Amino acid sequence: DAGVIQSPRHEVTEMGQEVTLRCKPISGHDYLFWYRQTMMRGLELLIYFNNNVPIDDSGMPEDRFSAKMPNASFSTLKIQPSEPRDSAVYFCASSLIEGRGREQFFGPGTRLTVL
């Protein structure tokens, strides 16, 4: 299994531009998570899905952020418009409801820099 796949791995954009981050979870997993990691705030959960349905988006910082999961093998996190304070590493993770302790498998992350 290739694990969780994220793209792009690095993204540099200018303030005000739209940014779309992509994630392919591990096949068969029924939960998908989006996290953000910064030096100041550490690793924060933004939103998670169960069977493609958003369950908890209380961590999404503001309306500029949106996430979708149109099918079981693909999810996007969009920031529009982007701001310098959105610069962070964004991780996607997936888990299986029957997995050991429902451990979460993380992707390699997307490093976003907003100038």
Partner 1 sequence: DAKTTQPTSMDCAEGRAANLPCNHSTISGNEYVYWYRQIHSQGPQYIIHGLKNNETNEMASLIITEDRKSSTLILPHATLRDTAVYYCIDAQTGANNLFFGTGTRLTVIP
> Which residue ranges make up the site for partner 1 (CB under 8 A)?
4, 31, 33, 42-43, 45, 48, 55-56, 91, 93, 95, 97, 100-109
81/108 with CB nearer partner 1: 108
Task: Report which of 56, 55, 35, 41 is spatially closest to residue 104, judged by C-alpha positions.
Answer: 35
CA distance linking residue 46 with residue 1, whole number of Å: 26
Q: How far is the CB of 15 from partner 1 (least distance, A)?
A: 25
Contact 86, 111 (CB under 8 A): no
59/81 with CB nearer partner 1: 59
38/80 with CB nearer partner 1: 38
74/106 with CB nearer partner 1: 106
Q: How far is the CB of 34 from partner 1 (least distance, A)?
A: 12
CA distance linking residue 76 with residue 62, whole number of Å: 16
Q: How far is the CB of 109 from partner 1 (least distance, A)?
A: 6
Contact 67, 54 (CB under 8 A): yes
Half-sphere exposure (Cβ direction) of 18: Cα atoms closer than 13 Å:
6
